[in-house]
Amino acid sequence: MKKNKIIKKLLVLSLAASMLFSQTAVFAEKPLPKRAEVGEAYKWQLEDIYKTNEDFKSDVKKLREEYIPKLKAFKGKLNSATQLANYFKLDEEASYIIEKVYMYPNLMSDLDQSNATATELVGMATGVYNEYLAATSFTTPEILNLDSKKLENLKKDKKLAVYSHHLDALIKKKEHILSEKEETLLALAGELSETPNDIFDKVTLADFQKAKVKDKEGKEIVLTNSAYRKILESDDRDFRKRAALARGESYKKVNNTLAATYAGEIKKNIFFAKARGYNSALESSLAAENISKEIYENLVNAVNKNLAPLHKYYAVKKDVLGYDELHGYDNSVSLVKDYKLEYTYDEAVAMILEALKPLGEEYLNQFKEGIESRWLDVYEDDKKYTGGYNWGPYGVHPYILLNYDNSLDSALTLAHEMGHALNSVYSDKKQAYINADYSIFTAEVASTANELLVMDYLIKNAKSDDEKLYLLNKQIENIRGTVYTQVMFSEFEQKSHELVEAGKALSPEVLNNLWMDIMKKYYGESYTFDETSKYGWSRIPHFYMNFYVYKYATSISAANELVKNIVDEKEGATDKYLEFLAAGGSDYPVEILKKAGVDMSKTEAVDNILVYFNDLVNQWEELLKKQNQEKSVQKDVKSA
């Protein structure tokens, strides 16, 4: 069973939250219906998974009474090609059912989180899923207990041809698998290893004392995340400054606790890496997807060599805003005042279809099928799950949850999630179940490619200078947040681990100084840091995900390279892209991308997206100059 398919919704949500454009939200003025007010065409059709709840319960019973006992019976027998083939086939049948059983009630619950029936069915699904996991926990240790020569022969056996890559991935883990007793000890430490992340959540979400600040009317505002974002988008600079400094002081109060917590996370990562015989925590983390350390280091080095465009961006922003100093609390101020760009859902679908034309008729028809076949639940409702995601069982079709609000961000979310969905459609059609699920390293490439195509289309077809300026700044912010910021985080994460691996202690002062040194390098001389800026590292939840954030940067870099090849009509580029979508998890992610035309072991893809970033900044600067000149002329005319 591919457990990552069950939890993918959470991973995709995590990635999507960071990939979405970060500029000021555009509030819709067009009529926006509630979910309850729209027709069935805008709602999921869960009957495509199970016609009735009784059908769901029948499959739960089948798993519990038929499949799980049969799977258990293979324990101690996975020692020949025939036995392995029979076991894998049975496991695939069970897993196919488990995906439907698990997703059906969870999708139902996400439409109405007060639905008692859905809650009951979720409990049944979780229970049988855990029974399955317990029953099949012997599989990997038993296979890897075979000697290396036999494993290599099994990998080449025709009976196991479809499982060849799966077996190869297991074999690569063999040297890092310990004795049964040692594995038991590591498993017992597993729950303990979650402690740093648990403490971080409790400190930042429960015990954290949110700062308060007064507005112009003297009303006290509690700085929740949403309230803080709105303040940073306001034109009142003094208000923004007071809010930023107050929030920074709040993190100062927990600096010691969060420094100790993060040090604990790093020690945990190093402990498990050493226990399994890896040279470093970074190497251990990358091994999960067969990613070389060279790829990680090339990414960091490439970005470090291309910091000049980012420095220019901040210098131009400082100049346009007319400030003597540019601070963190100035970053979210829109330079296009009172501009709105919005689309109804149907308008967004039409616009996205135009933007995705370079992908060809086949892709567009699949996109239309998803819209017309009710893969999406479009509008928000009082008890509906927030945000957006793509999820769905193999052999049925994807399900996309949206909370559409007519903003450009919502339209981009639609394009993003349909990118994930069609990745699954192409993969499921081409690949057997065992090879259909794609890696997180490649998952965001398909979704981000759609966003890049949409933004490229919108920028090229902007109807006014204001619209183009707005779109250029949006795309600049996207790349800044997804490449520069995430690589800055990655560099901090790597260096903090290396300090501990070198035997040095991580005091609050060490972490604060490391953060500030890296920030100053990335942001450049036009940027002024406040005293509380040094606590910024302590609020990042992704630092508890063991070298995860670099994937944001590699994903958008690879996507940009593929999109560039397609838009430039490079021979075979579209066909290679569709083959990439259909590859699923049939090979290691770096190899799949190579076949599509992107070699992530080299820096070219990263270099190219930063060239694109520089071009965007130059276009943005020229347009700002043009507008300023026009305003100056108008002012002179009025004066005359």
Cα(460)–Cα(115) distance, rounded to whole angstroms? 46
Q: How far is CA 627 from CA 311, 463, 614, in A?
A: 22, 15, 20
Cα(25)–Cα(404) distance, rounded to whole angstroms? 13
Which is more confidently placed, 631 or 38? Answer: 38
The encoded tokens of residue 19 equal 């990939």
Residue 571 is a catalytic residue: no
> Kindly report the CA angle at 472 between 471 and 474, in degrees rounded to 5?
60
Cα(201)–Cα(208) distance, rounded to whole angstroms? 10
Q: What average pLDDT is seen over the chain?
A: 91
Summarize the confidence of residues 155-168 as an average pLDDT.
Answer: 95
Summarize the confidence of residues 497-516 as an average pLDDT.
Answer: 97
Cα(141)–Cα(75) distance, rounded to whole angstroms? 11
Cα(367)–Cα(356) distance, rounded to whole angstroms? 10
Asked if pLDDT for residue 634 goes beyond 70, the answer is no
Asked if pLDDT for residue 388 goes beyond 50, the answer is yes
Cα(633)–Cα(627) distance, rounded to whole angstroms? 10
Cα(177)–Cα(491) distance, rounded to whole angstroms? 29
User: Percent of the chain at pLDDT above 70?
Assistant: 94
Summarize the confidence of residues 474-484 as an average pLDDT.
Answer: 95
Span 335-348, pLDDT tens digits: 887 788 899 999 99
Cα(373)–Cα(45) distance, rounded to whole angstroms? 8
- Residue 12: the pLDDT is 42
Asked if pLDDT for residue 14 goes beyond 60, the answer is no
- Residue 23: the pLDDT is 37
Question: Residues 92, 265, 342, 417: which is the catalytic one?
Answer: 417
**pLDDT band at 3, cuts 50/70/90?**
very low
Q: Where are the alpha helices (DSSP H) in 432-549?
A: 433-436, 440-460, 465-479, 485-501, 508-523
- Residue 263: the pLDDT is 97
Span 301-335, pLDDT tens digits: 999 999 999 999 999 999 999 999 999 999 998 88
Span 70-86, pLDDT tens digits: 999 999 999 999 999 99
Which residue is it, tokens 């992704």?
A: 542
Residues contacting residue 491 through CB under 8 Å, at least 6 positions apart: 300, 304, 518
Span 433-463, pLDDT tens digits: 999 999 989 999 999 999 999 999 999 999 9
Summarize the confidence of residues 19-45 as an average pLDDT.
Answer: 67
- Residue 282: the pLDDT is 97
Span 120-147, pLDDT tens digits: 999 999 999 999 999 998 999 899 999 9
Strands 212-214 and 376-377: unpaired
Q: Is the pTM of this model over 0.85?
A: yes
Span 183-235, pLDDT tens digits: 888 888 877 898 999 999 999 988 888 999 999 999 999 998 889 989 998 99
**pLDDT band at 632, cuts 50/70/90?**
low
Q: How far separated are the first and last CA of the chain, in Å rounded?
A: 77
